[in-house]
Amino acid sequence: MKITGLTVYQVDLPLEHPYWLSGGRLKFECLDATLVKLETDAGITGWGEGTPWGHTYVPAHGPGIRAGIETMARFVLGLDPRCVLEVERAMDTALPGHLYAKSPIDMACWDIAGQAAGLPIADLMGAASRTPRPIASSVGAKTVEETREVIARYRARGYIAHSVKSGGDVARDIARIRDVEALRAPGDIMLYDVNRGWTRQQALRVMRAVEDLQVIVEQPCETLDDIAAIAPRHATPVSVDETLVTLQDATRIARDGLAEVFGIKLNRVGGLTKAARMRDVALAHGIDMFVMATGGSVLADAEALHLAATIPDAHCHAVWACQDMLTVDIAGGRGPRNIKGHLHLPEAPGLGVHPDEDALGAPVAAYR
Ligand code: MG
C-alpha cells in the first residue's frame, strides 16, 4: 500500500466561551485546526487533525502545521502508511523538530493502518481497555466560590475528573485548593493546573502550604529547570504538561524524578507514535498519565482516547473532550461523545470517526 495523495484543510473551531489561561494571562476565542486526508492506492482513506491550543500557548501554531506539511509532503508520498515508523523517520528527516506539524500525518497513518487491519487503533497498538475514560473538566473560575459552582455544574453532568486552573494569586490558590479538597467526593480525580503560572517562589509557597493534602499540581512553573530546582524543597506531587514535548524530556523527568504524572498532549508531542514511547517510559517508572488532545474536534479527542485505552486503567487518570467547548461539529455527532462525563472507545476500525468533508470548505493544499 502506498500514500498517493495528501490533502490539507484549514478549519476555524470557535470556542463557545472565551477561554482564559490560568491566571488570566492569555485569552482564546477560536482554534485553528488543520485536517489532513491521506489517500492510498488501496482505496483506504485516513484522516488526521492538528489543532494547537491557540497561537500563543506553546510554540505550536496552526500556520506552522501547514507550512511543515508543505515541507514534509514529498517525503511522505509513496510510503506505506501502515509502516508508521518509516513515515515518522521520513518526517523527522525532512523537518527536524516541529513535532506538532507531524501529528496529523501520523494520526492519518494510524487511521489507515487500523482500517487495513480491521481493528480500532488502540487494538492495533496492542492493548485496548474498554473501560470508559473520565473526561477532565476545565475549571477556569476566578474566585473560590465560583470554582465551587463550576465544579458542581460539571458534577451534575457526571464528571468525576476536574482540572482546576490555578495561578495568579498565592493566597487565593491555597484557599481554592483547600476548599475544593474539603468538598472532594470519593472517586474524584483532581488536578490543579497552573499552566506555568507561578514563579519558583510562588510555587514553593503554595506547594508547601498544601503538602498535607497530597494533591497533584500540574505544570507549576515555566521550565523543567524551574521544576527541578524546587523539587527538593516541597513534597507535593507534580504533573508535567507543557514541558513534556520530546522523548528526551520524558526520560529526563523520569530519571530525575521531576514528576509523578505525565500530561501527554498528542499534537504537542508529535502524534501517537511518539506518544506511545512516552507512555512506556511512564509505565516503566511508575508515572501515571492524563492523555488529551491539545485541542480540536472529535477527531483529536478520539486519537487521545485510543492512546488512553492502551494504558492500564489504574494508571490512566482522565482524558479530555475539547469538542464540548466548540460551537461547530465537523463530524455530525459521530465518534466518541461525552456520555455522563466519560468517553467510550469506538469499535469501528481505525480512528473510528471521519469528518464531513463538505463541512471543511475547499482544501488549502493538495499534494500528489
Ligand atoms: Mg495542563
Domain boundaries, the chain: 3-118+357-367, 123-343
Sheet of 45-50, strands arranged across:
45-50, 27-40, 3-20, 365-367
Tell me if domain 3-118+357-367 and domain 123-343 are identical in fold: no
pLDDT score at 255: 98
Taking the centre of ligand 1 as the mean of its atom positions, its distance from the CA of residue 290, in whole angstroms, is 9
Residue 142 appears among annotated catalytic residues: no
Question: Parallel, antiparallel, or unpaired: how do β-strands 189-193 and 342-343 relate?
Answer: unpaired
Mean pLDDT within 284-308? 97
pLDDT category at 22 given cuts 50, 70, 90 is low
Distance, CA 241 to ligand 1 centroid (Å)? Answer: 5
Please tell me the distance between residue 315's alpha carbon and the centre of ligand 1 in angstroms. 17
pLDDT given at position 348: 98
Tell me the CA–centroid distance for residue 56 and ligand 1, in Å: 15
- What's the gap in Å between 227 CA and the centre of ligand 1? 15
Convert the pLDDT of each residue in 95-149 to its tens digit: 999 999 999 999 999 999 999 999 999 999 999 999 999 999 999 878 899 999 9
Output the CA 288–ligand 1 centroid distance in Å.
Answer: 14
Residues around ion ligand 1, judged by CB within 5 A, are: 193, 218, 241
- Does the active-site annotation cover 265? yes
State the Cα–Cα distance between residues 14 and 345, nearest whole angstrom: 26
CATH for 3-118+357-367 (2.130.10.10, 3.40.50.1220, 3.40.50.300, 3.30.390.10): 3.30.390.10
Indicate the helix (H) or strand (E) that contains 182.
Answer: helix 170-182
Reading the block at residue 32, the C-alpha cell is 485553528
Q: Out of 37, 165, 274, 340, which one is annotated catalytic? A: 165
> 314: buried, middle or exposed (CB in 10 Å: 19+, 13-18, 0-12)?
exposed
Whole-number Å distance between alpha carbons of 207 and 215 = 9
**75 CA distance to ligand 1 centroid (A)?**
33
240 sits in which H/E element: strand 238-240
Catalytically annotated residue among 37, 265, 274, 340: 265
Identify the CATH class of 123-343.
alpha beta
Task: Specify the pLDDT at position 26.
Answer: 76
pLDDT of residue 141: 76
Distance of CA 189 to the CA centre of its chain: 17
pTM, two decimal places: 0.97
